[in-house]
Structure 1
Amino acid sequence: MNHLYLTQEHEIFRQGFKKFLAKEAQPFIEKWEEEKMTPRSFWNKLGENGYLCPQLDEKYGGFNADFGYSVVIAEELTKMAGGFGISLHSDIVMPYLESFANEEQKQRWYPGCLSGDQILAIAMTEPGAGSDLANIRTTAVRDGDYYIVNGEKTFITNGYSADLIILAVKTDPKATPAHKGISLIVVEADKTPGFTRGKKLKKLGQHVNDTSELIFADARVPVSNLLGEEGKGFYYLMQKLQQERLVVALEGIVTCEVMLDLTLEYVKQRKAFGKPISQFQNTQFKIADLATEITIGRTFIDTLIRKHMDRENIVTEVSMAKMWSTELAKKVAGECMQLHGGYGYMEEYEISRRYRDVPVSTIYAGTNEIMKTIIAKNLEL
């Protein structure tokens, strides 16, 4: 499909990136799945080739690339069946530094983020606070030139490998309403006494991306690592969720497209009762339904990407897209596995990996129930 927001330059970039992934990533996916993380060496190769944070200004070493390049990278990583942690680094966490870091912080952190020497993560979710962000309990109490941080975060993508962690904390636990007490501070993992990582969490899927708990016990973080202003953290988070959810929506629809392609190839080859199962009406109708819904979803998301690149406020539509594409991905995964028959349940077939990787997309970046709440609120219900 031709995307209206992509130019010939984007497509040339795509071909180069596809060749890079074919050589440096695809042969090792199974190993990375077993190790439950993407190795640092791959991050460094991404950095060497300019595939991390290409949107950064040239004066910092970036390419000042538009969001279309991030779309291309996210699409190709998704086709590879892994890499959400990389998109999270470049397209979800880095925008916080772009918008709210001061010049000294940018000079300090940008080089490592571009090279892959400093992997980014963002830590909001806690054992007792997920969607209810205003009620996080991790605190940061001022003590001279440091914040003393206590609390625990969980389900943190890139958490096990991250070097820089944007941490949502309560700097004013007594603030009313509660969200006005939230601030963002940047934790430098190797320079923060009192900070420890939990073990890599055992997940149902998405094994290529490491996920872990983060523990803060009187951790000392310099006040100079405050991102923006105290008490503005909740507002900063709300500003950046549009792009995060758009990336998740995009990855959802790309996953649908990949699963449909895998299934089309399979049903044309697999024979039953003397003919390919693609010739059975049941198969044709199911695939026709899926192809239609996927095409509708892609058209909608492409429109939103164009609007996002034009800096339009599309919070409601992005909430719809995130909900629609991730729910559709679950549906497509189930239908496509069924069409694969028993082989679909075997690890050697990619559809089985897709089937277990998909469900969490309806949970992270705000659950789909939260998406419905946002949509309803913006419809003045």
Structure 2
Amino acid sequence: MKLFSVKSRISRIVLAFLLGLFLTQILFEIMPVPPAEAICTQPKNIGDGWNVSTPELSGFDAPALCQILTKAGSGRANIHSVIVERHGRLVAEFYRQGKDRSINILFGLWRPFSTRTQFSPTTLHDMRSISKSIVGLLVGIAQQKGRIGSLSTPILQFYPENSDLRSPEKDAVTLEHLLTMSSGLQWNEGALPNDETRLFWEATPSRYLFNHSVIAKPSQVFNYNSGGTMVLSDILTRTSGKSLKELVKAELFNPLEIADWEWVSNLHGRELAFTGLRMRPRDLVKIGRMMLDRGRWRDRQVVPEAWVAASLSPQISTGFKSPPTASDDLKYSYQWWGGNVNWHGKSLRWSAGFGNGGQRLFIVPDLDLAIATTAGDYESREIVHIVNVLFEDIVSSVSLLD
């Protein structure tokens, strides 16, 4: 009886402890996130290659921009940072505390007890599928350097070991089809578990991708496919003899003065090309500035100008609208999204890298404007709407008289 009493007491203690943890987490989830600080102050010069300016000097309605950012930085949405850049200078930024599920811990899977991070200009953040846009740029660099040829090259030509998978339909799938998510291969990235999930432990992504059936003629139908990005990355490493991390460091990040970053790998040590990049938001905006300057950073051509132009030009209609009431579908190019935004009654083209959870890099060439957001609301449809409206509002704050 005494032993039973001790076990019962231990069980009650353990149960009370677990209940306490659960209640603590509930309180943590419902507690309001502190508002961001210094939202409307000039960005700091921290020696990371950026010049800074003020909204007034950069052609913004400064009070309107301040009001927009204050709303974003004090709301309940789990937005971690917003950075606004124009004419080569940082105009506004804020960082705040927020919940996060980083891809570098359990591949970003849901965890029962999450933590909050105080984000700052020097904090790395998941880019999620903006990683794809970076891979697209590396393909353009590889083509210029002669490591890959025409975009009409069939993918399976790079994989003679996969000859058993060949068919006339699969032989028709080319580099361009993977870049534009129009391979025609069956692929589902909807509710979990889905085809993307296996990429976290897949050793041979090309075989995995081409084990899927062809269900549409290549180039005809957009179908979002992270496996295609993994195969593009694999082709980059095969044709260069270098890892994805070695390539992006030497050919993109070093020229852009981006020193602090990481690229998370899968269980086989293969970089997660479709989602694994982590970097500082201020460095993300450097990608936007380079794209606005036709592939140049400072006085160096980093990405071929023609490739940038193609990446920012609509290649295929996605069938998606944002917002759902929009008159035109979103477009897709070489791992970059595109659409239109209203600016004082004018419709302007934008291009963007999109990432799960609220990660965005928008550029509006006609306004010479780049905007980045980071957030932690993964798998949330609401955050998609919130950051898209935030982008539209910031665009509207650019003065018509500029």
Say which structure is richer in helix: 1
**Please, what TM-score do these two structures have when normalized by structure 1?**
0.26
| TM superposition score normalised by structure 2 | 0.25
Larger Rg computed on CA atoms = 2
**Structure of greater relative contact order (alpha carbons < 8 Å, 6+ residues apart):** 2
